[in-house]
Amino acid sequence: MFKRIISVMLLFITLFGCVKKQNNQDESRFLDDARFFPMPEFAVLFSSLDYVQRVDFDRVIPDLYNSDITNVNIAAFYLGNLTADAIVATRARNKTKLAIIAVTMIDYSRMIGINQEVLKLADDLMNLLQDDKWEELLIALDTYKSKIELSLYQSRQLDLMTLLQAGGWTRGINIMTSLLLQDFNIEYSRVLNQKGIVDNLTKNLAQMEDLNIYNIDWFKNLKEGYSIIHSIINVQNKETFNEDEIKRLNDISKDIITKIAG
């Protein structure tokens, strides 16, 4: 079980930003494309909410996950959701929920065609999990980020990569706003001030290669939802968000997830 957990956890680093020189070199290969993919380190973002207790992180993780998705595009988005939950489960130190997430993630990772050779790069992480070295595990996961992104990039699955990252960030917004609403502090709302990321995702969703996807209701809702998210977050010189804005972001992100993945 631990091998399955570790292998699938490697997938969610596609969401993380680059912190190492090698990662920067790999990500430079993406710059010639119309879409730009680097994402923030969710582990760092969640860590910035340093007043949040483990039990609070644990409360925002579902007990059950949808295992019946058959559409590859929806599976990619939902896998992104799971990547964010996996980080939170790690911060909550909840091996039971992390195991449930892992079982679901492995199915959807295979569906979207993640390179199995990349998934084998987990042996050095297994001991960290078994030894409860949670913080070291979060740091170690970053080293795999460029290999996961490169695998998707080389296979030219850019639409799936876009949906994967949109799914992760949508769930990330939902998690962060849920935590902020539990005990609101406007200074901590700075964690949502990710204008570049929201801007990139909004642009990426407008440049899908499969033009038929624009006629699908759940994608229309996703794209419209990000237009609203963009209007809230991408305000010049705005760094914090009031409680009403956070509640709106929470509602929008929840609506997007519900209409896509249930």
pLDDT digits (tens, 9 = 90+) for 124-144: 656 667 788 778 766 655 555
120 pLDDT tier (thresholds 50, 70, 90): low
The mean pLDDT value of the chain amounts to 80
Residue 261: band (very low, low, confident or very high) from pLDDT cuts 50, 70, 90: confident
Alpha carbons 56 and 141: distance in angstroms, whole number: 23
CB–CB of 101/86 below 8 Å? yes
Among 99, 73, 93, 69, CA closest to 9: 99
Q: Cα–Cα distances in Å, from 162 out to 2, 103, 209?
A: 28, 23, 11
Query: What gap in Å lies between CA 171 and CA 115, rounded to an integer?
Result: 24
pLDDT at 146 over 70: no
pLDDT at residue 231 greater than cutoff 70:
yes
For residue 241, the Cα-to-chain-centroid distance in whole angstroms is 21
User: Of the segments 16-20, 117-121, 147-151, 256-260, which one has the largest average pLDDT value?
Assistant: 256-260
Candidate from 3-17, 141-155, 230-244 with smallest mean pLDDT: 3-17
The winner for highest mean pLDDT among 27-31, 46-50, 258-262 is: 258-262
CA 148 to CA 23: how far, in whole Å? 11
In the structure, what pLDDT confidence band is assigned to residue 14 with cuts at 50, 70 and 90?
very low
pLDDT tens-digit readout, 151-201? 777 888 899 989 988 998 999 999 999 999 998 999 999 999 999 999 999
